[in-house]
Amino acid sequence: MRAKPAARTLDPVTEAAIEWLVVLRSGATTGAEQQAFEHWLRDSSAHRQAWEQLTGPVQGLFTQVHALNQRHPGQAEVITGTLHDSSRRLVQRRRLLRGALAVGGLSAGAALLADRCWPLQDMLAELCTGTGQRREFALADGSTLLLNARSAANPLHIQGLRGVALQAGEAIAQVTAGSTPFALRGPHGQLQVEPGVQARMLMRLDTTRSLAVALEQPLQLSTPQGAQQPLAPGQAAWFGPSGIEAVPHIASTAATWQRGQLEVHDRPLGEVVAALRAYRRGFIRITDAAAALQVYGSYPLDDTDHALAAIAQTLPVVVHHQAGGWLVRIALA
């Protein structure tokens, strides 16, 4: 199996600079926002350095997009689609991309903007999806793997074991009966079904733990630390270095993304926003207080504007759209 490339992370100062760039290039900056930016810039030499390093390569992109959108409203979305298509073509040039990333050929800002269309660190995976894309892949043994948006996986090449290694995002494996066990493996552990059994399983990766759901047939859940637990059909559990924790009332809604819907019953708003980020070619920021709100509802993944409007109408939050929708901020009302 190919090794996963190291994740490209950004420090908080660079992330803040990128947010300011999006706001200031929107063409609709308020006086208060301009003053806040100038205060941020003067507050630290690190802020100014991050701003100067960022604005060079990205300045032209936003200037051209804004100018075209003023002459022809709606063209910004067309440009976004073009960037998405370009990212897809990059998948066919993985060797060239590997070299570009190795020498730092993409600046932090330009890379982050491109990453919102297609996760750059996952483009070397054999199976992957971009922002807003769900795709089913046929596996060599006749099983299938459905990847959620911004997800990546590689087939396992281990003697006596069928399956895939999930590198990012979320997947549903529809497993055919075979002569060897099948495993859906992630960084925090794996789900396994015995030989001769057809099964359906879901895995979702999070930062410090993962979610496993037995959609059909019993499964065995295990972690590298030695924890093990059988999952009956309809059961779900979080698992990671701290062990395995059963999760009630989530299995019935965990797989609704396969039909383009996100259904949540008493889940934090932060989980909803995390799911919407995988379907939006822009940035969504949410305060900790707003993220902690408990949510019941159904949201369309393929229309994030509609989903965000529903959140604003049904919860005590304010949803701010800036830079033509490229930046969304959610806070308590």
Domains of the chain, with CATH numbers? 12-122 (no CATH), 133-246 (2.60.120.1440), 260-332 (3.55.50.30)
Given pLDDT bands bounded at 50, 70 and 90, which one contains residue 105?
very low
**Is the predicted pLDDT of residue 92 greater than 50, yes or no?**
no
Question: Which pLDDT score is estimated for 250?
Answer: 87
**Is the predicted pLDDT of residue 255 greater than 60, yes or no?**
yes
CB 316 within 8 A of CB 333: yes
Helix 304-314 and helix 269-277, axial crossing angle in degrees, nearest 10:
160
Q: Which of 59-63, 108-112, 199-203, 238-242 has the weakest average pLDDT?
A: 59-63
Question: Which pLDDT score is estimated for 23?
Answer: 65
Q: 3-class secondary structure for the chain?
A: CCCCCCCCCCCHHHHHHHHHHHHHCCCCCCHHHHHHHHHHHHHCHHHHHHHHHHHHHHHHHHHHHHHHHHHCCCHHHHHHHHHHHHHHHHHCCHHHHHHHHHCCCCCHHHHHHHHCCCCHHHCCCCEECCCCCCEEEECCCCCEEEECCCCEEEECCECCEEEEEEEECEEEEEECCCCCCEEEEECCEEEEECCCCCEEEEEEECCCCEEEEEEECCEEEECCCCCEEEECCCCEEEEECCEEEECCCCCCCCCHHHHCEEEEEEEEHHHHHHHHHCCCCCEEEECHHHHCCEEEEEEECCCHHHHHHHHHHHCCEEEEEEHHHCEEEEEEC
User: Across the chain, what does the average pLDDT equal?
Assistant: 80
**Is the predicted pLDDT of residue 133 greater than 70, yes or no?**
yes
Question: Which pLDDT score is estimated for 89?
Answer: 41
CB 332 within 8 A of CB 34: no
Q: Which of 37-51, 94-108, 218-232, 292-306 has the weakest average pLDDT?
A: 94-108
**Is the predicted pLDDT of residue 308 greater than 80, yes or no?**
yes
Q: Are strands 162-168 and 182-186 parallel, antiparallel or unpaired?
A: parallel
Region 249-253 average pLDDT? 87
Q: What is the pTM of this model?
A: 0.70
Question: Which pLDDT score is estimated for 36?
Answer: 85
Given pLDDT bands bounded at 50, 70 and 90, which one contains residue 213?
very high
Indicate the burial class of 226 (C-beta count within 10 angstroms; 0-12, 13-18, 19 or more).
exposed
**Is the predicted pLDDT of residue 82 greater than 70, yes or no?**
no
Highest average pLDDT, of 54-63, 101-110, 156-165, comes from 156-165
Region 245-259 average pLDDT? 91
**Is the predicted pLDDT of residue 154 greater than 90, yes or no?**
yes
Question: Which pLDDT score is estimated for 25?
Answer: 53
Question: Which pLDDT score is estimated for 120?
Answer: 58
Region 249-277 average pLDDT? 93
Region 235-257 average pLDDT? 92
pLDDT digits (tens, 9 = 90+) for 195-208: 999 999 999 999 89
Region 315-332 average pLDDT? 89
Q: Which of 121-130, 215-224, 296-305 has the weakest average pLDDT?
A: 121-130
Question: Which pLDDT score is estimated for 96?
Answer: 37
